[in-house]
Structure 1
Amino acid sequence: MTVELGIIEGFYGPLWRWPERKQLVQALEPHGYRFYLYAPKADAYLRRRWDEPHPQETATQLADFGRFCRKHGVRFGVGLSPFEVFNDFNDGAKKALAKKLAFLDEIGVQELAILFDDMRSDTPDLAARQADIVHWVQERSGAAQLSICPSYYSDDPVLDRVFGERPSDYLATLGGLLDPAVRVFWTGEEVCAREVTPGHLRRVGKALGRKPLLWDNYPVNDGDRMSRHLHLRGFTGRPANNAAWLAGHAINPALQPTLTAIPAITLAESYRQGPDYQYGQAFRHAAREILGADLADQVQADLLTLQDAGLHRISEDKKQALLTIYRGYPHAGAGEICRWLCGDYQVTDEMVQTQ
């Protein structure tokens, strides 16, 4: 059994360049990745400044990227985060949201995700308000597929600590109110789930009244702590029989667009191979496909340093030695390792709080 795979570019931190996004689409399309949702937290015009129009240059590039995705058989989508609009969905907010939806239709968005993640609310009837907003959007959007990320998108109590205690029966209430055609994102038992099991997905699906759309926070490495590590290893803890309980499986990529393709390919392999899947072997095959044999072997040799030790535990001498090695490879993946070693991908707490 297979499941539809996709990318949801939903991380905090520096924005990718458009050619990098296209490269990732081309790398993953042969492995069954069928949708791409553009939703970086750093695009303020989709989040904190959602009610303002995108600059013309960005709008033009978004439309071009949409055409590129469609040309490669990948459904083009956008994740819109109308920041805390559920606290006061007034006439002004409705007018601004209608304009944004018209813009998204104009650039050819095929899938629209309304993202309510990482926002504060003390609204007791939060689920009802969010369902009403999604249905309001549904009536005005030309997107063929509509999804929502709930405010509480995981069992993880960290969400309650940071954004306020979740309302009682929030998930079941939201699922009961939403049109069955609307897909609902869920990250698992934790925000960055170490494992996702059929038993867990079955329980969540029962509460929602539909199969959840998995928002997988691997290999994403945003945040102050995670951005000090490269997430390269093959996927684990996602058994192939999860497919029966999922509406789709989207990965939130790492800050490094070329390197992201390595674990992404291993996820496709885990579904394809089922019980025969071996994450170490899958990593080696994917790394060679993306990086070429020599660079892949070098990355594998340094995997403990790059993924496990992290920047804060690499001495200056070791860092310089690694830079010397990777600067010798004329490859985008090696360039990303060098930029990471130089601290270019470091995500600060301020970024997370203000994006």
Structure 2
Amino acid sequence: MSVMATSTNFSEKTEGRDRRFIGGVVEGFYGRPWTMEQRTELFKREQKWDLNTYLYAPKDDYKHRMYWRDLYSPEEAVQLIALISAARQHNIDFIYAISPGLDITFSNPKEVAALKRKLDQVRDFGCCSFSLLFDDIEADMCPADKQAFSSFAHAQVAITNEVYQHLREPETFLFCPTDYCAAFCTPNVSQSSYLRTVGDTLLPGIDVLWTGPKVVSHKISVESIEEVSSILKRAPVIWDNIHANDYDPQRIFMGPYKDRPTELIPKLRGVLTNPNCEFYPNFVAIHTLATWCKASPDAAARDVEMGDEEQDPCYSPHKALMLALTDWLEEFMCTDQPTACLKKESSEEEPMQTDLGEHSYVPGPGENPLYTAEPLTLDDLKLLSDLFYLPYEYGSTAKTMLHELNWLKSHSQAAAVDTDQTAEWRSRARQFDDMCEAVVRMFNRLSNAPNRRILYDLYNYICDIKSGVHLAQAYVKSLGGLGKPSAQLMGADPEPWGFRGGLSGEFQRMLPGHGNRDLFKHPPKTAVYCIRPYCPEDKMDIQRIFTNMQQERRIKVGSMTDAPLISDLLSTGEIPPSPQCALVLEDDMGPCGYMLALMDAKAAAASVQKDTRDRVFEDFPSLITGQVLPRVTDPSPAKRMIAQLLSTIRSCGSKGVFCELRHSDRRMLDFYTKSSSFQPLKMDGLPPDVIAMGTGL
């Protein structure tokens, strides 16, 4: 097969006639089919980018698959005729595909006649190219077919050959086997009796669709194509699912066409991309495929010139992506309202709203300025592509964010106890925060882009990633003590939008294979905490935890002079806790928190010049205090320590407990505030920056 670049793509010399390289799009996904308007727009794009084929195979068009026997109604016929005509006007080969495999009886002549009648109707619409698809069906034959055919492959090939000849052997006729990828072949491609039957008995003018090693192939090698070609006795047409997203409603793919070397081009009959269900975000998938198709080693001209650093000397996925994003940015900035284009062309007309200048709002001094939408940038689209890249690969920014989040999480404990690592941790936390803010800015600019059709296809995805990034951002801030722990992440009763996945996610997390495609193959396990009674040897550890948390507060609020509190003396060891009223929290790195209590706080109040006549000491005679290091992100250990201490204090006869909290200690203040039992108390003589909270027993 000789391949060369021309204005109509690539030519193949087969059986004395020129056959051009099939390059284009298959609408073959499960989900809502594209509209007639979108398909017509697709034809314009394909023509502009030198692609030449459209395969009509939407799985949920019920007359394509489920009710394949039914003829099209007059109204449907009008639409299909218009669509086939539009494709012809843009030099696009319209291939009509039908999928009868769900329930056809191959040996029944009436079934074969129904199939021919349906395709004859479409041929009368002006269609000249056809495809029979037997993908995603059960491989068992009914008893009648088992008597008539020696194998499932023989049944499929027999009816395909008969239909092909009935249609007078059209130039383009595609067959999709049931074993359409290497993973489905038993025991393998070279020993597959199914594929060998197809290769031996399928008429030579019929081309075979193939997805590669898998349904969604990560890479397609030259060797794998040579292997399947030798069995099929023809070069396959790749049905490429690299950008398909119908199998996961939370994913969309806007990375470049990649991991298919251009050496494949001379060894293939063609490539058709089966992209995202959403039409408008497929700009990158189709644009970069077009660039790849023109990157044959024999091509005279290419859209993208490669550098020495590229593995493929003829095609650079990165450069192809930037070329696509540059063109896509122009579409984002064009309004999708037809009337707007008319207004631009007829500038002599008076604007409809003539009083805008007279009555427009102007903010006064000290008021909020008017909101001004920032324009979308190429960097925003590059970030968008990085966040929604490809099934087996994240973009560079996404990978960096995941690596940084993993590092910040795994090193937060060490940074909390080692001041030498604190500076690095905080520096990387700030960089992570900047990356999160860039995602938010990208979201805002996308939301204000003039072309609303693209936005609406993207909106659910960018809202979801913005929310996920926001949660990660809040989590990192809480690890560093720069923000209160997020209730969405750590609350006992989180909002439904604070977690992902629904029932499907719950099932996946319970299965043994979950996470085997994650970037981090061994994600950190949930920390295991130990709560044990305090012993004298813990005094220095408690002092260290207390001192570290004091330093954290000073970093956040600047220099300050703290008025002494009873709880401070309890934490530093100047006042010992009451017997059986002290607990220590440990993780795998050692002590990471504590809870201490005094049964009679009134006796200790004199040491800090507190008025012991305060009535609070009568209703709440006992004091509780504690701290938990930021590396403890789970609130349940602290809750368990408090519950255990309150039970002990109650059993000793106390009728109430209070705690002293500084406003700058946002973490513990937030913890007690969210507790349903502790309520603010009015206590005489408290410093301005201190609040007391108590609970009855």
Fold shared by both chains (TM-score > 0.5): yes
Q: Assess if the C-alpha contact under 8 Å between 2:81 and 2:125 holds in 1.
A: yes
Aligned partner letter, 2:166: R
Deviations, residues 281-306 of structure 1 (Å, cap 9, x unaligned): 21111122133284543221233433
8 A Cα contact 2:380 2:442, kept in partner: no
- State the distance in 2 between where 1:62 and 1:320 align: 42
Q: Tell me: CA distance 1:138–1:251, structure 2 relative to 1, closer, same or farther (3 Å).
A: same
Q: 1:337 to 1:295 in 2, by over 3 A?
A: farther
Please name the residue that 2:454 is paired with.
Answer: 333
Q: Which residue of the partner structure matches residue 571 of structure 2?
A: none
Q: Counterpart of 1:258 in structure 2: which amino acid?
A: Y
* Residue number in structure 2 paired with 1:236: 258
Give CA-to-partner distance per residue, 1:231-260, whole Å, 9 cap, x none.
111111111110121011111121122221
Alignment of 1:174-189 (within 5 A): 174-189=198-213
- Counterpart of 2:316 in structure 1 is 278
Read off the aligned partner of 1:63 and give its amino acid letter: I
Kindly report which structure 2 residues correspond to 1:82-93, keeping only aligned pairs within 5 A, or say none: 82-85=100-103, 87-93=105-111
Between 1 and 2, higher relative CO (CA 8 Å, sep ≥ 6) is seen in 1
CA contact (8 A) 2:104 2:111 kept: no
Shift of 1:8: 1.1
- Say if 2:158 is the partner of 1:132: yes
Moved more, 210-219 or 296-305: 296-305
Per the normalisation by structure 1, the TM-score is: 0.85
For 1:289, the aligned partner's letter is: D
1:84-132 CA-to-partner distances (Å, cap 9, x unmatched) read: 3554441331232122011111111121010000010224601111111
Structure 2 length-normalised TM: 0.45
Secondary structure at the aligned position of 1:52 is classed as: coil
Counterpart amino acid of residue 264 in structure 1: I
Say which of 270, 273, 277 aligns to 1:251: 273
Secondary structure at the aligned position of 2:327 is classed as: helix
- Measure, in 2, the Cα distance between the counterparts of 1:271 and 1:91: 42
Query: Residues 80 and 125 of structure 2 are in contact (CA less than 8 Å); yes or no, is this contact kept in structure 1?
Result: yes
User: Distance between the aligned counterparts of 2:125 and 2:319, measured in 1?
Assistant: 41
Asked whether the equivalents of residues 327 and 335 of structure 1 are also in contact (C-alpha less than 8 Å), the reply is no
Cα distance per residue 1:247-281 (max 9 Å; x no partner): 11111121122221212221222343451422122
SS in 1 for 2:388: helix
Paired residues in the alignment total: 332
Secondary structure of 2:209's match?
strand
Deviates more, 1:16-25 or 1:289-298: 289-298
Report if aligned partners of 2:46, 2:92 keep a CA contact under 8 Å in 1: no
Structure 2 counterparts to residues 71-220 of structure 1, below 5 A: 71-85=89-103, 87-123=105-141, 125-141=151-167, 143-157=170-184, 168-220=192-244
Pair member with larger Rg: 2
Q: Describe the shift of the 1:321–1:28 C-alpha distance in structure 2 as closer, same or farther (beyond 3 A).
A: same
Larger % of helix: which?
1
Q: In structure 1, what is the Cα distance between the partners aligned to 2:254 and 2:443?
A: 18
Conserved 8 A contact 2:383-2:439: no
1:147 deviation in Å? 1.1
Q: Cα distance 1:253–1:88, how it changes in 2: closer, same or farther (>3 A)?
A: same
- 2:61 corresponds in structure 1 to 43
Residue in structure 1 matched with residue 30 of structure 2 by the alignment: 12
Q: Which runs of 5+ in 1 are unaligned?
A: 161-166, 350-355
CA 1:267–1:108 in structure 2 vs 1: closer, same or farther (change >3 Å)? same
How far, CA to CA, are the matches of 2:384 and 2:195 in structure 1? 42
**How far 1:168 sits from its partner (Å)?**
4.9
Q: Partners in 1 of 2:328 and 2:107 — Cα distance?
A: 46
Structure 1 residue 288 and structure 2 residue 306: aligned? Answer: no
Q: How many angstroms apart in 2 are the aligned matches of 1:287 and 1:236?
A: 15
Residues in 1 aligned to 2:96 and 2:235: alpha-carbon distance in whole angstroms: 21
Q: What residue number does 1:264 align with?
A: 286
Take 1:40 and 1:136, find their aligned partners in 2: how far apart are those partners? 24
Aligned mates of 1:193, 1:151 — CA distance in 2: 17
Deviation digits for residues 114-154 of structure 1 (CA, Å, limit 9, x no counterpart)? 00000102246011111110112112225442110001100
Aligned partners of 2:61 and 2:322: how far apart in 1? 34
Segments of 5+ residues of structure 2 without an aligned counterpart are 4-9, 11-20, 142-149, 298-312, 334-375, 403-436, 465-500, 505-697
1:54 Cα shift?
2.4
Label 1:88 to 1:270 Cα distance change in 2 as closer, same or farther (>3 A): closer
- Give 1:132's aligned amino acid: A
* In structure 2, distance between residues paired with 1:236 and 1:185: 19
Give the conservation status (yes or no) of the 8 Å contact 2:175–2:206: yes
Q: Alpha-carbon deviation of 1:337?
A: 0.9
Root-mean-square deviation (CA, aligned residues, Å) is: 2.9
Task: Percent identity, please.
Answer: 25
